[in-house]
Amino acid sequence: MFESIKDQIKNVKKIVFVTGAGISQESGIPTFRGKDGLWRNYDAMKLATIDAFYENPRLVWEWYNERRKNIFSAHPNNGHKAIAELEKLRDVVVLTQNIDGLHQKAGSSKVLELHGSIVKIKCTVCDFIDEMMTDFSESPPLCKCGNILRPDVVWFGEALPQDVWQKAIIHANQCDLMIIAGTSLAVSPANTLPMYAKQNNALLIEINPENTEMSSEMDLIIRNTSANILPEFISLFKEN
């Protein structure tokens, strides 16, 4: 399946991965869309909003507490591990929409979390931000300033952290190869990253069982999962 690009990747030096919920789903972490996106009959896509949080912060915190337990019990799959292994052979940067930290657990050292991290918390009012070291006795938990704490994640309708986003654009502009794995590219602005890579004449590869918003822009499309395909793909670089 890689014959068409075998010659093109010989001189690739910098590889950027854009990853989404699909790669983590293979580690047992549910996605927001489809039947996996339901929690106690609530639509997860509606819970992950600032409006839902202010309307019922206790409910949203309960959901995130359960998500956190699920994420902490999950392990990196062969897709995560293959990306980390590729660091030994090329300059690799991961731009992920996932908040679960599985890329870092697998050993990837250059990871930009576009949508934040579930292990971090921040205040809704003051500038307090920290890692969540333990479960809170109260729900919703309160900051030392007396205001409600929230997960340090980007909810639907919120802007991405600008420092992280600017770095992501720079990496996308500089790469020779971009691999889009396990993301539908339906969420903005992360779905514009392939366009930045294309401006640099980078090779674009999509690994996803289903069609995405930008499949027509790809140089190679592989209709399979990351855990199945990436270990085989990495072997190409070991040959060169």
Catalytic positions:
115
The tokens describing 68, both together, are 């956190």
The tokens describing 54, both together, are 């202010």
**What is the rounded CA–CA span in Å between residue 33 and residue 35?**
7
- Our measurement of the distance from residue 171's CA atom to the centroid of its chain's CA atoms, rounded to an integer in Å, reads 15
Instruction: Give the residue numbers of the binding site for Zn(2+).
Output: 123, 126, 143, 145
Instruction: Give the residue numbers of the binding site for NAD(+).
Output: 97-100, 182-184, 208-210, 226
| Exposed e or buried b per residue across 123-144, where buried means at least 16 C-beta atoms within 10 angstroms of its C-beta | bbeeeeeeebeeeeeeebeebe
Instruction: Give the residue numbers of the binding site for substrate.
Output: 64, 67
Q: CA torsion, points 19, 20, 22, 23, in degrees to nearest 10?
A: 40
**What is the rounded CA–CA span in Å between residue 155 and residue 134?**
22
Instruction: Give the residue numbers of the binding site.
Output: 64, 67, 97-100, 123, 126, 143, 145, 182-184, 208-210, 226
Say if residues 31 and 23 touch (Cβ distance below 8 Å). Answer: no
